[in-house]
Amino acid sequence: MYYTHSLILSQQVRVVFNPSGEFSATATPVKEFTRDPSLPSLFNPATDFPPEPVLTIYIDTQPTSDTISLKTTDRRAYDDARMRAGLQPVGSSDPPASDAPDDVILYNPRDVVTESSVCNIAFYRNGRWITPPLAAGCISGVIRRWLLEQHRIFEAVEDELTLNNIKDGEWVLVSNGVIGCQLGRIKFHTSSKTE
């Protein structure tokens, strides 16, 4: 789907801060917001009609070790998880697999879910959104920080969000500094690559 626009374009801006102390930035066009990107965090799965779009999100098929709270240009662990789900690395112009989800959630060797390949995550538990703690191995996202400060999400206790309490079809709130917040639903699947 395409649309045309001749005004100021909304853009994703990628800022890289090098070890030498230099920083640089690149921009790529994105579709403009048409509503407040924080609104999906107010969604109550028990009572509300969900705002569109609703993403389809897989759980990874194997654990990932040593993901850290820093966001860096080393995206290998995230790209590997995307490949296992049938997704291309972020920025690739190649098409994803026909049955690929929108995103995939990683988990650590203790079976604790950590984050998706491009977003922080939160699950709805006991009337509120719960997000993995940084110690589980997730990036300290800027929207995650804002949502915590606003009490729209809360940190899980360590090992609270394990694979065995994630349900097929359940809601997940995803967030990052480019999309803001969006909603998704977990879809269980079996990877043919691991069988």
Partner 1 sequence: MSYALLASTRYDPFLLSCAWNNDADGPSPYLLLHYQVDRLIASAALNGQALHDGLTLSNVKALCNKVVREHNDSFGGRALKVSTQ
Residue 134: CB minimum distance to partner 1, A: 11
Q: What is the Cα–Cα distance from 56 to 100, expressed in whole angstroms?
A: 9
Q: What is the Cα–Cα distance from 65 to 8, expressed in whole angstroms?
A: 42
Q: Which of residues 67-126 bind partner 1 (CB under 8 A)?
A: 69-74
Which lies closer to partner 1 via its Cβ, residue 24 or residue 65? 24
- The answer to whether 26 contacts partner 1 (rule: CB under 8 A) is yes
In terms of Cα–Cα distance, which of 38, 37, 36, 35 is closest to 151? 38
User: Per CB under 8 A, which region of 58-66, 77-85, 105-113, 172-180 contacts partner 1?
Assistant: 172-180
**In this structure, what are the phi and psi dihedrals at residue 67, rounded to the nearest 5 degrees?**
-70, 145
Give the per-residue contact string, 148-167, with partner 1 (x = CB under 8 A; - = no).
Answer: --x-----------------
Q: Which two tokens stand for residue 66?
A: 């040593």
Residue 2: CB minimum distance to partner 1, A: 5
Contact status, residue 128 vs residue 152, Cβ threshold 8 Å: no
- The answer to whether 6 contacts partner 1 (rule: CB under 8 A) is yes
Residue 70: CB minimum distance to partner 1, A: 5
Which lies closer to partner 1 via its Cβ, residue 73 or residue 192? 73
Those residues whose C-beta lies under 8 Å from the C-beta of residue 79, and which sit 6 or more positions away, are: 89, 90, 117
Q: What is the Cα–Cα distance from 174 to 68, expressed in whole angstroms?
A: 18
Q: Where along the sequence are the contacts to partner 1 (CB under 8 A)?
A: 1-6, 8-19, 21, 23-34, 36-38, 69-74, 140, 142-143, 145-146, 150, 176-180
